[in-house]
Structure 1
Amino acid sequence: MAHLLHVDASFAREGSTSRALGAVFAEAWQAAHPGGTLGYRDLALTPPPHLDWETVSAGFLPSDQHSPTQTEAVKRREELVAELEAADEYLFTLPMYNFSVPSTFKAWVDQIIIVGRTLRQPPEPSALTGSRVTVLATQGGSYAAGTPKEGWDHQLPYVAHILESLGATDVELIRVEMTLAPVNPALAEFIDLNTRSRSAGEAALRARAAA
């Protein structure tokens, strides 16, 4: 039975492009996979703790030697890793904050990467080997070739490298740009660009979900 894990990272509860388009994908996926399981992790509602020494050092000790703090850290980490391992398809909806991913997503990545378990050296499979992964990246501006901030996108390249390290090969990266144009008068000339980008992104998400 198909099992999708949707990880949502926007801190905006209202007016979030990434949340709205993530819901479009989820609805289309459920229609294409009746009876499938849709798991959902809202990183704004339940932000993962940043990786710390208590968590890492616990991996060097048998569980019966863990301190109470280490035991609790391992429990929190195991919840995230088990959720990842239970799914066979993934959707990550990520706004760009300060030219990169939200810190909550980086914290989530640090928690779920465990060398020898979710990340192994080929030909051994890693956590996302053989899985379909869809990434929706929303960006307030544009970082395309020829724009003033070309090369400032540290969002999609980072995510692509993380997914590759976890063994993912069936990956589709969907970008929606100029999301601030409708709300920032200084960017009003780019509203049409945002409209086209959002429409194209929504169509790509629907197609990917139904495939």
Structure 2
Amino acid sequence: MTLFRLDASILPGTSASAELADAAEAEWTAAHPGGTVTRRNLGTEPLPGDAWAAAVLGSFTPEDQRTPEQQAAAALGAELAGELRAADAAVIAVPLYNWGVSQHFKTWVDLVIASAGPTTELLKDKPVVLIVSLGGGFAPGTPREGWDHATPYLERILRDVWGADLTTIRRELTLAAVNPAMESLRDLAAEYHTQALDAASAAGKGLVRA
């Protein structure tokens, strides 16, 4: 059995999304002590920013005429898509940055699609836990309602494009503990934290059952 885990935080030592991913992974690992966890951290080991363009241009170029950059980009895309194909389950942990997904995460998605094609269901019927951490509050009725442009995109790619059996875990107000302007929200943030950890553990058990 193989679990694919992707992290996208640029601050792994204090990452709220990684903490929740750890909780989900722990449940899977406990049930599969001999299993394999394939890891990719886009925050600490970002993909080349120009690789997607090289992969796309290379796909329109006869193989014997591709540049070394195009060949390398195609190989990288095939490697990334292969990690998803080989997985029996996945945990995808992505922070909200500037109200959307980060450039390094988008590069990963684009390279996978460039390699596998836009309609290939790489995760078809596989259990996937999506973890999204958000520094502020985006719940209905808050001033920033509707500003989270990451979660809908992530769900669209993982569930609707790649066919995953998806469970989404969100934790909001992750910056309340360190931002003085959010001091009044710290009790609520702590409640969200506890709820998210419980949900991540439950989702990890869901990976095992599936």
Q: TM-score, normalised by structure 2?
A: 0.90
User: Is 2:170 aligned against 1:171?
Assistant: no
Decide whether the 8 Å contact of 1:129 with 1:166 is kept in 2.
no
* In structure 2, distance between residues paired with 1:33 and 1:68: 40
* In structure 1, distance between residues paired with 2:52 and 2:121: 23
Match of 1:107 in 2: 107
User: Is 2:203 aligned against 1:208?
Assistant: yes
Match of 1:38 in 2: 37
* In structure 2, distance between residues paired with 1:37 and 1:210: 17
Q: Percent identity?
A: 37
User: Is 2:24 aligned against 1:22?
Assistant: no
Decide whether the 8 Å contact of 2:125 with 2:165 is kept in 1.
yes
Q: Which amino acid aligns with 2:105?
A: F
* In structure 1, distance between residues paired with 2:164 and 2:70: 34
Match of 1:182 in 2: 177
- Measured after TM superposition, the shift of residue 177 of structure 1 is 0.7
Q: Which amino acid aligns with 1:22?
A: A
Question: How is 1:1-211 mapped onto 2 (pairs within 5 angstroms)?
Answer: 2-50=1-49, 51-114=51-114, 117-120=116-119, 126-211=121-206
* In structure 2, distance between residues paired with 1:180 and 1:45: 21
- Measured after TM superposition, the shift of residue 65 of structure 1 is 2.7
Q: Which amino acid aligns with 1:134?
A: V
Q: Which moved more, 1:138-147 or 1:33-42?
A: 33-42
**Corresponding residue pairs, total:** 205
- Measured after TM superposition, the shift of residue 199 of structure 1 is 0.9
Find the residue that maps to 1:14 and give its secondary structure.
helix
* In structure 1, distance between residues paired with 2:52 and 2:156: 22
Decide whether the 8 Å contact of 1:28 with 1:210 is kept in 2.
yes
- Higher helix share goes to which structure? 2
Given the superposition, is the C-alpha separation of residues 129 and 119 from structure 1 closer, same or farther in structure 2, using an over 3 Å criterion? Answer: farther
Question: What's the C-alpha RMSD, in Å, of the aligned pairs?
Answer: 1.7
Q: TM-score, normalised by structure 1?
A: 0.90
* In structure 2, distance between residues paired with 1:138 and 1:33: 27
- Measured after TM superposition, the shift of residue 118 of structure 1 is 5.0
Decide whether the 8 Å contact of 2:77 with 2:114 is kept in 1.
no
